Structure 1
């Protein structure tokens, strides 16, 4: 699917659906820093918070279904099968305490994995709109994820890719959260793509001039299926 989107969007965009980059973001920690040295105090505290949260939370299960289009990219939608994903996100926020300031006022109410981030002009905007429309209800199966990673993203010359700082296993038991399964459809997709993408490599909210980073994540807990 990532290759199909890239074929319509054109070269230069970030194929975030590639095995070395794909992920579900749980929480962003701070604005981008080019380097996170060994022994970084914030990374150490975040790793400890991630471990404490994961110890109390069971593996996350998503139903993957539908594709949506935004001004910044194309995403696959993920729907929690039970309350585990939201419970883990909430528990992580509590364990981070003041280190979770970056997203304290931001509530993630959807789960998704980005296939392509736009960084330049979209070559075939209408073709991409039509491609997404045909896949709005595409069912892609279920994913069970039992590992959470503390990540930063580093540009490899083609795109930002995951760089692991720490990881832990989700192994506890969580309570069922009422209404966790309420959302069953992807958020509305935009029906047009601007000729010039809204976020270029250097304008991306957490990128520097080398397009290093993703969504401000220098150290971000993320859950993904190891490739």
Structure 2
């Protein structure tokens, strides 16, 4: 992602709302038709590859986990609770397809760690207002609204610093910020009930999260769901932000 590429910057009450509305319609239709996407444990060459993410702070993680538990009670207990504290995250950029056994000494990890440190040092902490849930063809999301350009500035700077290692998403722009709370893995216990449950929470206020550091991570399947395995952590520079990542 070059510096000339821009994401949409949204105020807390506008901007991304239309994109989340479109996702809800697609998710509702897929869930009611029974043709929603069903995730499966990561395999080499598939999803859940090396990524840079914004991890939620403890308070935010607790709020997301509570809503995730409620969602699973409607969707069914066999789906992945990816809003649990050990899994929740806001993806900034995926760097490759899933590759098992990635370790800190891996050449890509070393290069990406350096790029992450440079990018984060040049950017301020990220602030997201979490307001509302949406349904997608593959799960349930918590919707994030940047309160200033910091999140998008970091995403663009990271792409620049990665250089050739940004190839994996070179033709793909992530234009919304979100945390997926539930990934569907099979039939839904109550499809109509799930649609209604999410619809009633389209404006649920989950507070503001201030993220003080970004992470490079891989995903490990723990028998229940993919969880985060941190490979590098990079604090944001001071900029104009004042957050500590505890939201």
* Fold agreement, TM-score > 0.5: yes
Distance 1:19 1:3, change over 3 A: same
Distance 1:109 1:164 in 2: 24
Render the CA deviation track for 1:46-67: whole Å, top value 9, x for unaligned: 0000000001000000011010
Distance 1:165 1:226 in 2: 20
Distance 2:224 2:194 in 1: 22
4+ residue runs of structure 1 moved beyond 2 angstroms?
172-175
Distance 1:39 1:142 in 2: 35
TM-score of the two chains, using structure 1 as the length reference:
0.76
- Matching residue within 74, 79, 99 for 1:33: 99
CA RMSD after TM alignment? 1.6
Distance 1:169 1:38, change over 3 A: closer
| Counterpart residue number, 2:7 | none
Distance 2:181 2:132 in 1: 12
| Counterpart residue number, 1:203 | none
Distance 1:30 1:226, change over 3 A: farther
Of 29-38 and 49-58, deviating more is 29-38
| Cα shift at 1:226 | 7.0
| Cα shift at 1:44 | 0.4
- Higher helix fraction (1 or 2): 2
Distance 1:174 1:90, change over 3 A: farther
TM-score of the two chains, using structure 2 as the length reference:
0.70
Render the CA deviation track for 1:62-96: whole Å, top value 9, x for unaligned: 01101000010000000000000000000000001
| Counterpart residue number, 2:147 | 81
Structure 1: state its 5+ residue gaps. Answer: 176-224
Aligned residues: 178
Render the CA deviation track for 1:174-210: whole Å, top value 9, x for unaligned: 79xxxxxxxxxxxxxxxxxxxxxxxxxxxxxxxxxxx
Distance 1:111 1:50 in 2: 19
| Counterpart residue number, 1:91 | 157
- Matching residue within 203, 210, 213 for 1:144: 210
| Cα shift at 1:38 | 3.8
| Cα shift at 1:171 | 1.2
Contact 2:135 2:195 (C-alpha < 8 Å) held by counterparts? yes
Structure 2: state its 5+ residue gaps. Answer: 1-66
